[in-house]
Chain A
Amino acid sequence: MIRYFSRIYRVSKALLQGMGVTFCWLFKPAITVQYPDEKLTPAERFRGALTFDKETCTACLLCVKACPTACITLEPATDSVTKKRLAKVSWYQIDFGKCNYCRLCEEACPTKPIKSVRHTHDYEWGMKQRSDMFVKWRREQKKEETQLEKTA
Chain B
Amino acid sequence: MIFPVLTQSQKRSIGVLAAMAGFGSGGVLLVGELNVRFSQIWNFAQEIALKNSIPSFIVSLVSMVIQCSLLIGFISVSVMFMVWWERKISAHMQSRLGPMFTGGWHGWAQTIADAIKLLLKEDIIPVTANPWVHRLAPVLVFVPCFLCYAALPFGKGLISADLDIGILYIFAISGLSVLGIVMAGWGSGNKYSLLGGLRAAAQSVSYEIPRVLSVVPILMFTGSLKLTQIAGAQTGFWSLYGIPVLPRWFIFYPVIGQLAFIIFLICSVAETNRTPFDIAEAESELVAGFHTEYSGMKFSFFFLAEYAYVFLSSGMMTALFLGGGSGPFFPSWVWFLLKSFAFVFLFLWFRWTFPRLRVDRLMEFTWKFLLPWSFFNILLTGFIQLI
Contact = CB atoms under 8 A, between A and B. Distances in A.
Interface in A10-39: 15, 18-19, 21-32, 34
Interface in B83-118: 89, 91-97, 100
Counting chain A CB atoms within 10 Å of each CB, the highest count among B7, B96, B353, B354 belongs to B353
A31 B95 contact: yes
A34 B7 CA distance: 13
Nearest to A33: B97
Nearest to B5: A29
Given A25-B94, A30-B96, 12 more contacts: A18-B354, A21-B353, A22-B353, A25-B93, A25-B95, A27-B92, A28-B4, A28-B95, A29-B4, A29-B7, A30-B91, A31-B95
B116 to A, nearest CB: 24
Interface of B: 1, 4, 7, 10, 89, 91-97, 100, 349-350, 352-354
Nearest to B276: A15
Nearest to B1: A24
B56 to A, nearest CB: 53
B103 to A, nearest CB: 15
A22 B92 CA distance: 9
B97 A32 contact: yes
A141 B350 CA distance: 72
Nearest to A18: B353
B353 A19 contact: yes
B96 A26 contact: no
A22 B93 contact: yes
Nearest to A17: B353
A34 B1 CA distance: 25
A40 B271 CA distance: 45
Contact of A34 (B91, B92, B94, B100): B100
B95 A19 contact: no
Contacts of B95: 25, 28, 30-32
A26 B93 contact: yes
B196 to A, nearest CB: 26
Contacts of B354: 15, 18
Interface string A92-129: 00000000000000000000000000000000000000
B36 to A, nearest CB: 38
A26 B92 contact: yes
A26 B89 contact: yes
A15 B349 CA distance: 12
16 contacts: A18-B353, A21-B353, A22-B353, A23-B349, A25-B93, A25-B95, A26-B93, A27-B1, A28-B1, A30-B91, A30-B97, A31-B96, A32-B95, A32-B96, A34-B97, A34-B100
